[in-house]
Amino acid sequence: MLDFNRRGLWRNSNATVRASITPTTVPIVVYVHNRPAYLREVLTRLSRVDGIAESLLIVSHDGYFPEVVAVVREFTFMRIKQRTTSKNSFPSRSPDDCPGTPSPITPAPDGCTGDSDQYDNFRNPFFVGLKHHWFWLMNQVWDEMEEFQNFDGHICFLEEDHLVVPNAYRTLQVLIAVKNARCPDCVAVSLSTGHRAHSPGVLGGEHFVADRMSNMGYAFNRTVWRRIKAQARKFCGFDDYGWDWTLECAVMASWAPGTLSLHAAGASVIHAGRVTHR
C-alpha cells in the first residue's frame, strides 16, 4: 500500500499541480470504504458541479479494494489522486490488535496492543475504522502530500455516499469568503445545513447560518488542522467510534466560542446512504 501511495500520480493533469493551486482553490477529499456503486454516483454528481475542474480530488481508501479503485479510474473530469490504507495494518485490522472481549476465562493475550473501552471491548476495526481512517487521511493530506505543503487554505471532505448539487463548489468559495470576513468564531464551512431543514441546492445569498459543525461536506484550513492535531491524544483516546462525535466532544469542546461552522440557507449535499457500523 505504501508503494501504491508513492506511485500515485495525478490523473487528467497537464500541468504541475502545485503551481495550479490558487488561494481560491478548494481541494476535495472523498474517503471511501467498499461501496463502489455509491462511489460511482458520488463521482458522477461531482462531474456535474460548476467549476469543479478548478479543484483537485483526492480519494482516500479504507483498504485496497480493486473494484473501488477501478471506479475512480473511470472518471476524467478533474485532476484525481488516490491514497489507501492497508487492510492488514492500522488503521485497518492489525496483527497486534487484542481480539474480542477479555474475560476471566479468555483473558487478552500478552503482547497485544491497545486498551479496552468502558465496556471491556478492545479495538474492533469493523466499528472504529472510519474514525481511524479519518485521522490517518488528515495526516496524509495536510502533512504528507507534497502538493499541499504550502497550502494553508480550506479543504473540503466528503464520504462515499455524499451527493453534491451543481452549485456545491461555488457555494464553498462563497462560504469561505464570508467566513473569513464576517465570522471570527467559525472554524469551518459546510455544504450541509446540519439538523436544520432547508431546501436543497439553494445558494444562501445574504442568508448564512453559523451553527454546529456538520459531518457532511465540511471544509477547514490548516490552522484548524493544527489545533486538531495538537489534541491527537484526546482524539484517539476518546471512548467513541465516531470521528465527528469525538471531534465535537473531546477536541472542540475546549475551543469555545470558536467552534461554529458557516452554511448557506440551503443544503448543497445530500446523504444518500444509510448509517452503518463499518
Q: What is the pLDDT of residue 238?
A: 86
Residue 276 lies in a domain: no
C-alpha cell at 102: 477479555
Residue 277 lies in a domain: no
**One-letter amino acid for residue 265 of the chain:** A
Residue 113 lies in a domain: yes
Burial class (CB in 10 A: 0-12, 13-18, 19+), 11: middle
**Straight-line distance from the first to the last Cα atom of the chain, in angstroms, rounded to the nearest whole number:** 21
Q: What is the pLDDT of residue 129?
A: 72
Residue 122 lies in a domain: yes
Least confident segment among 25-34, 99-108, 147-156, 184-193: 99-108
Q: Kindly tell me if the per-residue pLDDT of 57 is higher than 90.
A: yes
Give dist(CA 214, CA 225) in Å, integer: 16
Q: What is the pLDDT of residues 8-41, one digit of tens each?
A: 557 765 545 655 788 899 999 999 988 999 999 9
Residue 74 lies in a domain: yes
Residue 278 lies in a domain: no
Residue 71 lies in a domain: yes
Q: Kindly tell me if the per-residue pLDDT of 213 is higher than 60.
A: yes
Taking the model in full, what pTM does it have?
0.84
* Residue set of the binding site for substrate: 62
Q: What is the pLDDT of residues 77-123, one digit of tens each?
A: 999 999 988 666 665 667 777 766 555 555 556 667 766 777 667 76
3-state secondary structure labels for all residues of the chain: CHHHHHHCCCECCCCCHHHHCCCCCCCEEEEECCCHHHHHHHHHHHHCCCCHHHCEEEEEECCCCHHHHHHHHCCCCCEEEEEECCCCCCCCCCCCECCCCCCCCCCCCCCCECCCCCCCCCCCHHHHHHHHHHHHHHHHHHHHCHHHCCCCCCEEEEECCEEECCCHHHHHHHHHHHHHHHCCCEEEEECCCCCCCCCCCCCCCCCEEEEECCCCCEEECHHHHHHHHCCHHHHHHCCCCCHHHHHHHHHHHHCCCCCEEEEECCCCEEECCCCCCC
Give dist(CA 207, CA 196) in Å, integer: 14
Q: What is the domain count for the chain?
A: 1
Nearest to 101 by CA among 122, 76, 71: 122
Q: Average pLDDT over the chain, rounded to whole? A: 82
Q: Kindly tell me if the per-residue pLDDT of 126 is higher than 80.
A: no
Helix 222-229 vs helix 125-139: crossing angle, to nearest 10: 130
Q: What is the CATH number of the domain that holds 218?
A: 3.90.550.10
Alpha-carbon distance values, 126 to 65, 71, 74, 76, 100 (Å) = 16, 23, 28, 32, 12
* Residue set of the binding site: 62, 161, 271
Phi, psi values for residue 68, rounded to 5°: -75, -40
Give dist(CA 95, CA 261) in Å, integer: 39
* Residue set of the binding site for Mn(2+): 161, 271
Cβ proximity of 122 and 102 under 8 Å = yes
**One-letter amino acid for residue 116 of the chain:** S
Residue 28 lies in a domain: yes
Question: Whole domain around residue 78: which residue ranges?
Answer: 2-271
Whole-number percent of the chain with pLDDT over 70: 74
